[in-house]
Amino acid sequence: MAIVGKKFPNLAVDAMNEMGDTFKLNVFEEAKNKGKKVLLFWYPKDFTFVCPTELHAFQAALGEFEKRNTIVIGASCDTPEVHFAWLNTSKDNGGIEGVTYDILADSNRNLSGTLDILDIEVEYNDELEDNVLVGDNVTYRATYLIDEEGTVFHEGVNHMPVGRNVNEFLRMIDAYTHVQKNGEVCPANWEEGKEAMGANRNATAEYLSKN
């Protein structure tokens, strides 16, 4: 279910912070009430292999997101207690000690189910004479960029073995911010400081002739 151009679901979800506090966090309200962009990234499971590399990569770039008025939020279907244990496990042991942004604990799958990002299938079981769930019922590596009005301007879903490129999300935020401020559109491979163009056929032809 694509939600680009639509408001992010207005749902409060359990979350955990670095101090071990559990609280309700509403991503839509975080954007609207604070007047900030939000990067929300989902990962499959705590205490796995690719996942900690991503959480540390987002932490390393946290200052760059903050410069861009962007809040970073992680998310999985693990419980707050499991998040807290992972936050207290050292990097050398595959933990995420040192991560400071909030992490959603969507253990009831309310938000991930609404977003339709769960690895789940249903098969008929002859012995039970009923449908049974197949798959881990955890999320793919889904990423959402949400603007200051709570509108999604990017969404992407990676298969579980494939980690994300954090710098690409910084580039996308730069591009969207340029569009917001200048009303121009950003061509392929655009980066901050490069020439953008007007949203018309002549501007496209002119840009292509120079590049």
> Who contacts 50 (Cβ-Cβ below 8 Å, separation ≥6)?
43, 160, 161, 162, 163
Gap between the Cα atoms of 65 and 81, Å rounded: 27
Gap between the Cα atoms of 164 and 158, Å rounded: 8
Q: How confident is the model at residue 126 (pLDDT cuts 50, 70, 90)?
A: confident
> What is the predicted pLDDT for the residue at 61?
98
* Strand duo 37-42 + 70-76: pairing: parallel
Instruction: State pLDDT tens for residues 62-76.
Output: 999 999 999 999 999
Average confidence score pLDDT of the chain = 94
The pTM assigned to this predicted structure is 0.93
Q: How confident is the model at residue 189 (pLDDT cuts 50, 70, 90)?
A: very high
Share of the chain above pLDDT 70, in %: 99
> What is the predicted pLDDT for the residue at 185?
95
> What is the predicted pLDDT for the residue at 130?
81
In the chain, where the domains are located: 12-164, 166-211
Quick one: tokens of 205?
């032809």
Q: Give phi and psi for 201, each to the nearest 5.
A: -65, -40
In the sheet that holds 103-105, the strands lie side by side as 22-26, 12-16, 103-105, 70-76, 37-42, 141-146, 152-158
Question: At 63, which helix (H) or strand (E)?
Answer: helix 62-67
Which residue has better confidence, 133 or 139?
139
Instruction: State pLDDT tens for residues 18-51.
Output: 999 999 999 999 999 999 999 999 999 999 999 9
Please provide the CATH number assigned to the domain covering 12-164. 3.40.30.10
| Secondary structure (3-state) at 106 | coil
Instruction: State pLDDT tens for residues 152-167.
Output: 999 999 999 999 999 9
> What is the predicted pLDDT for the residue at 133?
75
> What is the predicted pLDDT for the residue at 62?
98
What positions carry a catalytic annotation? 51
* Mean pLDDT across 162-185: 97
